[in-house]
Structure 1
Amino acid sequence: MIKIQEHSKPWKIVHMDWVTCLPPRGDRSYNSCLAIVDRFSKTTIFLSRHKNDTAMDTALLIWNRVLSWTGIFKNIISDRNCKFTSALWTNPHQLFGTKLSFSTAYHPQTDGLAERMIQMLEDVVRSLCAYGLEFKDCYGFTHDWSPAIPEREWNSKLPQDSLRKDSVELHPTAGSFKGIIEKARKHAIRCMEDSFAYAKDKWDKSHATPDFKLGDLILVFTTNLNKIKGCKKLKDAFAGPFVINSLHGKNSIEVELSEQLSNKHPTFPVSLVKPC
């Protein structure tokens, strides 16, 4: 497992993903949602949209409703949705100096943070009306702090909190407040490092990655290759061999596909290939 670059401040590295095919709601019949997740604090912005929104709609949405709050991002991690790969989306971010990091085909782990937050959103929407406050103040599954603490240094006060408490909490002094902020940030960084170390240990125990080199022959798992002729139940588990043309880090490789598979993207995660 390769660690994604971390940052010590909120809203510098974010994950983006679309949730589609939701039941239409509201005056404008919104049926989709754009999720934007801050990698540092895990704070998430959910924006109601339509499934047929274009790259222009997405760019204007970010410009009008997000950047005024978060500032310009340093890195955006997303899948290869056409809204995120179009020139209309990539060119403005080149001007801003924002790096766009795309996941490879059939490898959702790269954008796993957004995927996990979307799962939480679906659970929340099923049962909770005041999702905004509750979601930001809930404690994560890999850390023991809520997204609100490292992002804005405090948790929202919910109605149920007022009902359970009889005393009024005093605001800390300016001097101690600065210490609280620094302590919260350092604790958040330690939690993320511990979380990654735990996930890496669990992953590496069951996923041994061969040392691939340029020119090596490899076989590709056929689960996602639907254009291979013949009976689906009797087709080979692997297709190939194919020659490795280039290496994209340690997690993905680019191969020279046969004419039969020329319509497929030639880059695959190493989890879907094996040495010939």
Structure 2
Amino acid sequence: MDRVVGLSKTTKGHDAIWVIMDRYTKSTHFFPIRITYNLYQFARLYVQEIVKLHGVSKVIISDRDSRFTSKFWRSIQKALGTNLAFSIIFILKLMGNQREPYRLLKTCLEPVCSISMDFVANTCHL
């Protein structure tokens, strides 16, 4: 993934080309873009043109820094309408139920664990 910039403006206002290479299909795609495109516009174009042909990529190789790549992935998730949640504990915190995972852990460990569950309860603040 790269951009070719410094081109003359077209009649539609495009002044750059976005180049996306897919090493698995050995295909290259060229998209006329404006240098002022934001990440969401790139992500929408990516979803509309690349994902519809090849599906969602597992790996994106870019010579841009890791912050760009991370923000680009988040923009793709937004363009796909996907809400990215990192873990069940993250979800429970959002829902205000922070102690539930510890209660679940206590319920699972009690029958098989030889340590005192009072110790676990005090340590985990149950």
- Normalised by the size of structure 2, how large is the TM-score? 0.53
Q: Structure 1 residue 34: deviation in Å?
A: 0.8
Please point out which of 56, 81, 89 is paired with 2:40: 56
- Which residue identity does 1:21 align to in structure 2? G
Q: What SS does the corresponding residue of 2:8 show, helix, strand or coil?
A: coil
Q: Percent identity?
A: 29
Structure 1: any 5+ residue segments left out of the alignment? 1-15, 96-276
> Is 2:14 aligned against 1:36?
no
Q: Structure 1 residue 41: deviation in Å?
A: 3.8
Deviations 1:155-203 (A, max 9, x none): xxxxxxxxxxxxxxxxxxxxxxxxxxxxxxxxxxxxxxxxxxxxxxxxx
Would you say the 8 A contact 2:2–2:62 is kept in 1?
yes
Please point out which of 81, 90, 100 is paired with 2:73: 90
Counterpart of 1:77 in structure 2 is: 61
Would you say the 8 A contact 1:37–1:43 is kept in 2?
yes
> Is 2:16 aligned against 1:21?
no
- Which residue identity does 2:6 align to in structure 1? C
1:1-276 alignment, distance < 5 Å: 16-25=1-10, 27-80=11-64, 84-85=68-69, 87=71, 89-91=72-74, 92=77, 95=84
- Which residue identity does 1:63 align to in structure 2? V
Q: Structure 1 residue 43: deviation in Å?
A: 1.2
Distance 2:66 2:36 in 1: 11
- Aligned CA distance change for structure 1 residues 83 and 33 (closer, same or farther; 3 Å): farther
Distance 2:65 2:45 in 1: 16
Which aligned runs of 4 or more in structure 1 are off by greater than 2 angstroms? 81-87, 90-95
Would you say the 8 A contact 1:55–1:83 is kept in 2?
no
Distance 1:35 1:81 in 2: 17
Distance 1:29 1:79 in 2: 26
Indicate the structure (1 or 2) with the bigger Cα radius of gyration.
2
Would you say the 8 A contact 2:62–2:69 is kept in 1?
no
Distance 2:13 2:53 in 1: 26
Paired residues in the alignment total 78
Distance 2:49 2:67 in 1: 17
Q: Structure 1 residue 83: deviation in Å?
A: 8.4
Deviations 1:237-258 (A, max 9, x none): xxxxxxxxxxxxxxxxxxxxxx
- Which residue identity does 1:48 align to in structure 2? P
Structure 2: any 5+ residue segments left out of the alignment? 85-126
- Aligned CA distance change for structure 1 residues 35 and 81 (closer, same or farther; 3 Å): farther
The structure richer in helix per residue is 2
Distance 2:49 2:12 in 1: 17
Q: Structure 1 residue 71: deviation in Å?
A: 0.7
Would you say the 8 A contact 1:20–1:33 is kept in 2?
yes
